[in-house]
Chains A and B, each alone.
Chain A
Amino acid sequence: MISGVWYGGVAFLAFVGIAALRTRMLRGRTAPVPHLLAAWLAIGCVVFAVVVSFEPRHTFTLATTNLFVYLFLGEVLLFIYAASLGSISVRILVTMRRFEPSPEALDRSLAIHSPTAFLDVRLDSLMAWGMLRQRDGHYEITPRGRVWAHGVSSLKRLLAVGRGG
């Protein structure tokens, strides 16, 4: 019975270890979230393959249950990781806690996590990903960026999320 979740649990622990090692060893050198996303999916494939190889009975069922246990736990970690890294709201909360009980905790947090600082980081990322290019002080969208922008606009309409932002 335990074989229904055991492989998934062990794989999750391996993913946590890989995520911690990866962020410490390659700190600041590469974009972390896409790499972790790739590792998460790759380990999922390994979990499925290992269960298929080692479980002679009920193979597909056990591979599927373990896969979903692993995918869910890994997704929770990715969610927390991505929010810790890139969410403005999370950054404000964490910094405010550091400044409390000062009544200016929010203002001091906003001074550190200003929208312009976030804008600079995002513009650099968009250029690194080939979505924007800079010419004569202007940021222009590339053909690749236009494809993405069109896809996002379509999804905004499909999901009825409004303009958002």
Chain B
Amino acid sequence: MSGIVFALSVFIVGFLAHLVYSHLVVVESKEPVLIRFMVAASVAYAVAYPFAAPILVRYIESPVGAWVDFASGLSAMGFFVLGYIEFWSLIERSFSLRILVDAAEVSGGLTREEISSSYSVGRGLDWMMKKRIDDLVGSRMLVKEHGDVRLTAGARVIARGFAAVQRAFALE
């Protein structure tokens, strides 16, 4: 239980630090910054746990043993971090929510073509697709070679994994 309390504390610090940084520093690509903050928070939990746990057990019941306490704290950390990354990504890049926000900014409604061309304050669907491709290149999933765009070895492994999930859950 002390692991969970400690994980919550570390996550709150990491979350607030990321929030303040996001407001103070303007960066072109925001997602890698988020990932770095959350990875740093997770590493901070793992590194600081051995020092924090002996202090916390004086105040919090911890009957499960150190390793299980650490693992449950790590699970809590993963739960908070992954939840925040998913929520942030949903707000930042959700296709459906962006359409909704665009539609709310005009009176009288939009045709399908107008939605397509005015997507994300006039940048259009082609920009959206270009952004997705650029993000894949930026995250080293795709690489440009001699004018062609190819999957990297890591991307092939990830693609194989997602294909297996799609087959398992009949999502193809």
Residues of A in contact with B (beta carbons under 8 Å apart): 1-5, 8, 19-20, 23-24, 27, 57-58, 61-62, 64-65, 68-69, 71-73, 75-76, 79-85, 88-90, 92-94, 96-98, 100, 103, 105-106, 110, 115-116, 118-120, 122-123, 125-126, 131-132, 135, 137-141, 145-146, 148-150, 152-153, 155-156, 159-165
Contact = CB atoms under 8 A, between A and B. Distances in A.
A149 to B, nearest CB: 4
Contacts of B120: 163-165
A107 to B, nearest CB: 9
Contact of A118 (B95, B127, B166, B170): B95
From DSSP, what is the main secondary structure of chain B's interface residues? helix
Contacts of A161: 22, 30, 88, 91-92
B55 interface: no
Contacts of A88: 95, 129, 132
Given A93-B151, A123-B112, 17 more contacts: A4-B69, A20-B168, A58-B61, A61-B62, A69-B75, A76-B82, A84-B165, A90-B162, A98-B163, A105-B149, A119-B95, A139-B112, A141-B109, A148-B97, A153-B101, A161-B22, A164-B94
A153 B1 CA distance: 37
B62 to A, nearest CB: 7
Interface in B100-145: 100-101, 103-104, 108-112, 115-116, 119-121, 123, 125-129, 131-133, 135-136, 141-142
Contacts of B128: 115, 165
A5 B72 contact: yes
B2 to A, nearest CB: 9
Contacts, number: 227
Given A119-B112, A160-B19, A4 B65 contact: yes
Contact of A84 (B135, B160, B169): B169
A88 to B, nearest CB: 5
B46 interface: no
Contacts of B163: 94, 97-98
Interface of B: 1, 4, 19, 22-23, 30, 61-65, 68-69, 71-72, 75-76, 78-79, 82-83, 86, 88, 91-101, 103-104, 108-112, 115-116, 119-121, 123, 125-129, 131-133, 135-136, 141-142, 148-151, 155-156, 158-160, 162-163, 165-166, 168-171
A96 B141 CA distance: 11
A139 B100 contact: no
Contacts of B150: 100, 105
Contacts of A94: 159, 162-163, 166
A4 B64 contact: yes
Contacts of B123: 165
Contact of A97 (B109, B112, B151, B169): B151
